[in-house]
Structure 1
Amino acid sequence: MGAKAAIVYIGEGLPRDALRNAPPFDPVASAELAEAVLGAPVSEVGRAPLAASTWPEAPEISAVSFPDFDLVCFKPLAQDRPSDLTEWIRAMSPAGNACGVFMYSVYDYLSMAVWEHGDVRRSLSLTPDEGILEDLGERYPFETAFWNGDHSIHDFAPDYPFPFHPLELGEATLGGWFGFHLEGVPNAGVDAWSIEMPCYRRTE
């Protein structure tokens, strides 16, 4: 699996519902969003579909602002412990509501988190080399099958430290929350190739 993602949704409800009905984005507000994340003026350097924007190459950031929600794709958001983003979420979201999925296939790294009213509701982060780095809050129902071994990889990787592959859980989370997948299975209601994401860099 080669999935890579560092994507955060800032808004009410699930991003999959917001993305299904998203109006045209606001280019001015999108640039301001990128500037707020980077803490510096930015210049737009191109646009690409959301499906190809979940892991922008450094030092770029993909950010888009709609009237009711924001979407940010930025590598530094992929933290070992997603709870470390809590103060940033509070600063970026007036209501403190957000969710994020972070995956990096090179290390079989996955982290995922949901914030409600400025506090962490659920945070999970793990890699096979470092184990479980963070596991906060009640597990979502869709996680249960993974932890119970219903998606076990032990038949061909008997020594793998988890009863599932982290990227498989990551894809399930991305599909359940954001409505699309990066690899392996059809999208779950959102055509991520039809959603345009502007990409920015700090202004020289």
Structure 2
Amino acid sequence: MLVFSEGRAADRLRVARQSDEAAAAALVARVHPGCTVEPAPGMSLWEGTYPPDGTSYAASFDGVEVVCDRRLMGHRPSLMPSHLLAAGRGDRVFFHAMHSVSDALTFAVWEGGVLVRSLSLSPDSGIVENIGAPYAFEAPFWAGERPVGSVSWWARTSRRTRSRSIRSNWARKHSGSSLDSCWRADSTLTMSTPMPFRCKAST
């Protein structure tokens, strides 16, 4: 996921309502230069963080733009192609990628075009990249206060099933319609935002 924002992305997303479809299509075209961009049925951001192969989910709101695409996952933030960082509007760029099967995580933040924080790691690869000062929310993890622990496959699957059920119930409760996205990124960000546009970027 790439998020481009003018100022605080959380503040912009809290008030976002209707995505500009033409701007979203243009965003996908900039992310995938030289590809043919075709519209496809929309998907909420709540459900669209892991699109099918060859598909980008995109939304363009006032002051913030979002693009979700599995093809972005392999990029190391310090080597992020310049056209991706320039694809959206805003002076702040956020990148987030994770893979639950391998427990891999990458996130990064650029301010005014400068990479100020990058962290990429996984149990198998270790710390691939660690650039910039850690944010306050990282402190408990670096201090060893949030160990992964050893969890059986059955317990992990059961826990994920319960978690999905809880998230689904929360979404139904807080969603105004099927096109509303209810994405709770953390305890400070709860938003109900339509993301009704999807583009297929094909060569």
Unaligned runs of 5+ in 2: 152-182
SS in 1 for 2:82: helix
Give 1:131's match in structure 2, choosing from 115, 119, 126: 126
CA contact (8 A) 1:80 1:125 kept: no
CA contact (8 A) 1:90 1:96 kept: no
Please give the residue correspondences for 1:1-204 in structure 2 after superposition, counting only pairs within 5 Å. 7-39=1-33, 40-79=35-74, 81-85=76-80, 87-93=82-88, 96-154=91-149, 156=150, 180-181=184-185, 188-191=188-191, 194-202=193-201
Compute the RMSD of aligned alpha carbons. 2.2
Which is higher, the Rg of structure 1 or of structure 2?
2
Shift of 1:119: 1.0
Q: Distance in 1 between matches of 2:74 and 2:10?
A: 23
SS in 1 for 2:46: helix
SS in 2 for 1:191: strand
Q: Deviations over 1:94-126 (max 9, x none)?
A: 654211211111211100000011110000000
Which deviates more from structure 2 when the two are superposed, residues 91-100 or residues 46-55? 91-100
Structure 2 length normalisation: TM-score? 0.75
Structure 1 length normalisation: TM-score? 0.75
Unaligned runs of 5+ in 1: 1-6, 158-178
Greater relative contact order: 1 or 2 (C-alpha under 8 angstroms, separation 6 or more)?
A: 2
Residue correspondences, number: 171
Q: Distance in 2 between matches of 1:27 and 1:202?
A: 15
